[in-house]
């Protein structure tokens, strides 16, 4: 089976821990590939903006749950300052 590439955001590259989650969840990856590069950028920046590794892990699990549920942008977050 061919390995599918996981698309990046407009500014940010997908970090390895987020990429691993996307590779393990077909539904989350489908939504990820369907959203715009700017929306992917928001998810990446949301995960990476956490100061502690523990918080990043929690955000990756939340991202998996929310993407699997069809959410296209992180909620209740001011957004990426790198646009």
**What pLDDT does residue 3 have?**
56
Mean pLDDT of 3-10: 85
Tokens of 28: 């989350």
Structural domain harbouring 27: 16-68
Q: Cα separation of 77 and 1, whole Å?
A: 37
With respect to residue 73, please indicate whether it lies within any of the assigned structural domains.
no
> Residue 1 pLDDT > 90, yes or no?
no
Mean pLDDT of 63-79: 90
**What pLDDT does residue 75 have?**
80
With respect to residue 63, please indicate whether it lies within any of the assigned structural domains.
yes
Per residue in 46-56, pLDDT (tens digit) is 999 999 999 99
Mean pLDDT of 33-44: 94
> Residue 79 pLDDT > 80, yes or no?
no
Burial 49-78 (b: 16+ CB within 10 A, else e): beeeeeebeebbeebbebbeeebeebeeee
Structural domain count of the chain? 1
């Amino acid at each position: 089976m061919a390995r599918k590439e996981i698309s990046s955001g407009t500014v940010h590259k997908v970090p390895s821990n987020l990429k691993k989650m996307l590779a393990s969840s077909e539904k989350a990856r489908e939504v990820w590939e369907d959203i715009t590069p700017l929306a992917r950028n928001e998810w990446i920046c949301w995960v990476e903006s956490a100061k502690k590794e523990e918080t990043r892990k929690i955000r990756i699990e939340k991202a998996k749950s929310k993407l699997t549920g069809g959410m296209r942008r992180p909620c209740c977050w001011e957004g990426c300052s790198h646009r």
